[in-house]
């Protein structure tokens, strides 16, 4: 007969028989396999969520690109001359009046504005100071170091480090005389693809004597076999820029010369015109009352457009 003893400590009746064992329930641990499976499922869900988000962003960008494609075709059909004018007008300061060749004194800060239009890149140095410098350079080879935008630069030094290319087709500078000196130091074989040049240089009353700086003339554009259009304006030099600029005159079809302040020698224009036999368009604005000499005789057989004006200084 089994004997039972009352155990007040546990509140149980424990058998005193040696063959009886009392076991207490223990918590069942979660298996390692189930934990690994849960982690895999969680990572799979996170990956699917990331892929879905990236796919959504991709389609959003494709829609955005498609909208730009609808805008760009009409722009591509616009002539470069019109795009250049739009770019020219876009940067002008908003003021009640605007003096050609100069900007208002705003803040002593210089910026480099870089815009890409088709195969033509436009770079303009904006220097809002009393003697402002505005320059524009159009090239067919993009400038890889820069993206489109407004970038702060040191005034007048950027052009000396500019990577000119043999494929440059358009060059135009507008500003004070310092911005063109690095250009004038380039060898004559630099621009073999050059077609158009526009220089508008405006300084103060103390003009620069180019005849003293370049006694052998400026040879930068002399060996440009495709150059046909030259536009020279400004009052920065005591010597006419056309007089010291060596040009392939025999191949020029368009020539525009204007000096708004200093009095150049009209003979400088005459000497150049004698060699420009193929001119189709000629525009000259002289800051003198008398203009050319009455004895001057020049034959331009291909000329179709002629505009000569004189104004008082």
CA end-to-end distance (rounded Å), the chain = 142
217 and 183 in a common domain = yes
- pLDDT of 139 reads 35
For residue 38, what pLDDT is reported?
78
The answer on 70 and 185 residing in a single domain is no
pLDDT (tens place) for every residue of the chain, 313 residues total: 444 444 444 444 544 555 555 555 555 555 677 777 778 888 888 888 888 888 888 888 887 777 666 665 666 666 766 666 665 555 544 433 333 333 333 333 344 444 444 444 444 544 444 333 333 333 333 334 433 333 333 333 334 334 455 566 777 676 667 667 777 888 888 788 888 887 877 665 556 677 778 888 888 889 889 999 998 887 766 567 788 888 999 999 999 888 655 555 666 677 788 888 889 999 888 766 556 666 777 888 888 998 888 766 5
Same domain? 65 vs 117: no
Residues 47 and 160 in one domain: no
Please state the domain count of the chain: 2
Residue 11 lies in a domain: no
Considering 14, 47, 77, which residue would you say is the last residue of a domain?
77
The Cα 141–Cα 201 span in angstroms is 25
Q: What is the pLDDT of residue 289?
A: 59
Q: Can you tell me the distance from the alpha carbon of 46 to that of 110, in angstroms, rounded to the nearest whole number?
A: 49
Q: Report pLDDT for 22.
A: 57
Q: What confidence score (pLDDT) does residue 76 get?
A: 62
| Together in a domain, 54 and 88 | no
- Domain assignment present for residue 151? The answer is yes
The owner of tokens 């003339």 is 217
Q: How far lies 29's CA from each of 26, 32, 33, in Å? A: 9, 9, 12
What domain range includes position 47? 30-77
Task: Identify whether residues 117 and 48 lie together within a single domain.
Answer: no
- Cα–Cα distance for residue pair 257/241, rounded to 1 Å: 9
β partners of residue 135: 125
Which CA distances in Å does 194 have to 5, 84, 143, 176, 228? Answer: 117, 17, 17, 23, 9
Strand order in the sheet with 281-286: 149-152, 110-117, 120-127, 133-139, 170-175, 196-201, 229-234, 254-258, 281-286, 305-310
86 and 65 share one domain: no
What pLDDT is attached to residue 44? 84
Residue 12 covered by a domain: no
């Amino acid at each position: 007969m089994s004997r039972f003893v009352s155990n007040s400590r546990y509140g149980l009746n424990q058998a005193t028989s040696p063959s009886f064992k009392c076991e207490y329930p223990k918590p069942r641990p979660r298996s390692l396999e189930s934990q690994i499976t849960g982690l895999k499922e969680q990572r799979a869900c996170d990956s699917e969520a990331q892929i879905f988000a990236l796919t959504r962003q991709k389609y959003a960008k494709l829609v955005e690109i498609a909208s730009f494609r609808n805008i760009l075709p009409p722009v591509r059909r616009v002539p470069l001359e019109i795009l250049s004018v739009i770019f020219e007008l876009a940067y002008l300061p908003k003021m009640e009046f605007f003096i050609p060749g100069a900007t208002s004194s705003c803040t002593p800060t210089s910026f480099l504005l870089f815009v890409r239009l088709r195969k033509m890149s436009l770079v303009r140095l904006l220097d809002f100071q009393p003697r402002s410098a505005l320059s524009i350079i159009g090239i067919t080879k993009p400038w890889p170091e820069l993206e489109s935008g407004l970038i702060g630069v040191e005034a007048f030094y950027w052009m000396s480090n500019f990577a000119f290319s043999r494929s440059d087709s358009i060059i135009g500078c507008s500003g004070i005389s310092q911005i063109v000196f690095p250009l004038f130091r380039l060898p004559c074989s630099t621009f073999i693809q050059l077609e158009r040049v526009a220089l508008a240089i405006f300084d103060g009353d103390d003009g620069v004597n180019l005849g003293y700086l370049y006694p052998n003339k400026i040879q930068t554009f002399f060996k440009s076999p495709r150059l046909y259009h030259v536009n020279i304006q400004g009052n920065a030099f005591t010597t006419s820029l056309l007089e010291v600029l060596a040009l392939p005159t025999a191949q020029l079809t368009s020539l525009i010369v204007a000096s708004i302040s200093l009095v150049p020698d009209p003979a400088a224009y005459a000497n150049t015109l004698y060699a420009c036999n193929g001119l189709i368009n000629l525009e000259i604005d002289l800051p003198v009352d008398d203009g050319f000499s009455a004895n001057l005789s020049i034959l331009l057989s291909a000329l179709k457009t002629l505009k000569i004006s004189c104004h008082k200084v």
